[in-house]
Structure 1
Amino acid sequence: MTTTDHTRTETTTGAAEVAARHLWMHFARMGDHPARPVPVITRGEGAYLYDDRGRRILDGLSGLFVVQAGHGRRELAEVAAAQAETLAFFPVWGYTTPPAAELAERLAALAPADLNRVFFTTGGGEAVESAWKAAKQYFKLRGKPTKHKVISRAVAYHGTPQGALAITGVPKMKKDFEPLTPGAFRAPNTNAYRNPQFDGDPEAFGRWAADRIEEAILFEGADTVAAVFLEPVQNSGGCFTPPPGYFARVREICDRHDVLLVSDEVICAFGRHGTTFACDKFGYVPDIITCAKGMTSGYGPIGAMIASERVMEPFLAPGVSFPHGYTFGGHPVSAAVALANLDLMEREGLNQRVLQHEAAFGDTLRRLLDLPIVGDVRGDGYFWAIELVKDKATRETFDADERERLVRGFLPGALFDNGLYCRPDDRGDVVVQVAPPLICGQAEFDEMEQILRHTLTDAATLI
Structure 2
Amino acid sequence: MSFVFLRKPGRPYPVAARAEGVWIWDTEGRRYLDGCSSACVVGIGHGVREVEEAALAQRRAVSFVHGATFLTEACERFAARVAGLASDPHLDKVYLVSTGTEAVETAVKLARQYWQEVGEPRRHKVISRWGSYHGNTVGALAYGGHAGRRRPYDPLIPHTPHIEPCYCYRCPYGLQPDRCGLVCAEALDRAVRFEGPETVAAFLAEPVVGATLGAAVPPPGYWPRIREICDAHGILLIADEVLTGAGRTGRGLALEHWGVSADLVTLAKGLASGYAPVGAVLAHAKIHDAIRDGSGAFVHGFTYNQHPVAMAVGDRVLRYLEEHRLIDRAARMGTVLLERLRTLSDLPVVGDVRGIGLLAGIEFVADRDTREPFPAQAGFAWRVGEEARKRGLLTYPGTGCTDGLRGDHVLICPPFVIDEDEISFLVDRLREAVEAAGNPADERGS
* TM-score band, normalised by shorter chain: over 0.9
Query: 3-state DSSP class of the match of 2:95?
Result: strand
Distance 1:424 1:110, change over 3 A: closer
Superposed, 1:253-272 pairs within 5 Å as: 253-272=229-248
Instruction: Give unmatched runs, 5+ long, in structure 1.
Output: 1-16
2 CA distance for matches of 1:97 and 1:286? 28
Give the superposition deviation at 1:381.
0.5
The aligned counterpart of 1:288 is 264
The aligned counterpart of 1:279 is 255
Conserved in 2, the CA contact under 8 Å of 1:414 and 1:455?
A: yes
Query: 3-state DSSP class of the match of 2:338?
Result: helix
The aligned counterpart of 1:148 is 124
The aligned counterpart of 1:67 is 42
The aligned counterpart of 2:397 is 424
Query: 3-state DSSP class of the match of 1:392?
Result: coil
Superposed, 1:1-80 pairs within 5 Å as: 17-18=1-2, 22-25=3-6, 28-30=7-9, 33=10, 36-80=11-55
1 CA distance for matches of 2:400 and 2:134? 13
Which range moved further: 258-267 or 312-321? Answer: 312-321
Conserved in 2, the CA contact under 8 Å of 1:132 and 1:163?
A: no
The aligned counterpart of 1:215 is 190
Query: 3-state DSSP class of the match of 1:29?
Result: coil
Conserved in 1, the CA contact under 8 Å of 2:21 and 2:45?
A: yes
Query: 3-state DSSP class of the match of 2:33?
Result: strand
The aligned counterpart of 1:231 is 206
Give the letter for the 2:365 counterpart.
V
Distance 1:357 1:333, change over 3 A: same
Give the letter for the 2:398 counterpart.
D
The aligned counterpart of 2:444 is none
Conserved in 2, the CA contact under 8 Å of 1:149 and 1:183?
A: no
Deviations 1:284-341 (A, max 9, x none): 0100010011111111111101100111221012543111111111111111111111
Give the letter for the 1:395 counterpart.
R
Conserved in 1, the CA contact under 8 Å of 2:349 and 2:366?
A: yes
2 CA distance for matches of 1:37 and 1:162? 29
1 CA distance for matches of 2:175 and 2:335? 24
Deviations 1:103-142 (A, max 9, x none): 1122223323201111111010000000111111111112
Superposed, 1:55-134 pairs within 5 Å as: 55-113=30-88, 114-134=90-110
1:411 aligns with 2:406: no
2 CA distance for matches of 1:335 and 1:427? 36
Conserved in 2, the CA contact under 8 Å of 1:228 and 1:260?
A: yes
1:455 aligns with 2:429: no
Conserved in 1, the CA contact under 8 Å of 2:85 and 2:246?
A: no
Give the letter for the 1:23 counterpart.
V
- Which of 168, 175, 193 matches 1:198? 175
Conserved in 2, the CA contact under 8 Å of 1:163 and 1:180?
A: no
Distance 1:225 1:180, change over 3 A: farther
Query: 3-state DSSP class of the match of 2:281?
Result: strand
Query: 3-state DSSP class of the match of 2:84?
Result: helix
Conserved in 2, the CA contact under 8 Å of 1:165 and 1:180?
A: no
2 CA distance for matches of 1:315 and 1:275? 30
Which range moved further: 123-132 or 222-231? Answer: 222-231
2 CA distance for matches of 1:319 and 1:256? 27
Conserved in 1, the CA contact under 8 Å of 2:332 and 2:357?
A: no
Conserved in 2, the CA contact under 8 Å of 1:206 and 1:242?
A: no
- Which of 436, 439, 456 matches 2:417? 439
1 CA distance for matches of 2:438 and 2:166? 27
Conserved in 2, the CA contact under 8 Å of 1:91 and 1:327?
A: yes
2 CA distance for matches of 1:319 and 1:221? 26
Give the superposition deviation at 1:395.
0.8
Conserved in 1, the CA contact under 8 Å of 2:387 and 2:434?
A: no
Conserved in 2, the CA contact under 8 Å of 1:263 and 1:290?
A: yes
Give the superposition deviation at 1:181.
5.3
Give the letter for the 1:454 counterpart.
E
Give the superposition deviation at 1:282.
2.6
Report sequence identity in percent.
37
- Which of 140, 144, 155 matches 1:168? 144
Conserved in 1, the CA contact under 8 Å of 2:359 and 2:412?
A: yes
Give the superposition deviation at 1:39.
2.1
Query: 3-state DSSP class of the match of 1:218?
Result: helix
Give the superposition deviation at 1:246.
0.8
Give the letter for the 2:425 counterpart.
E
Conserved in 1, the CA contact under 8 Å of 2:125 and 2:199?
A: yes
Distance 1:171 1:274, change over 3 A: same
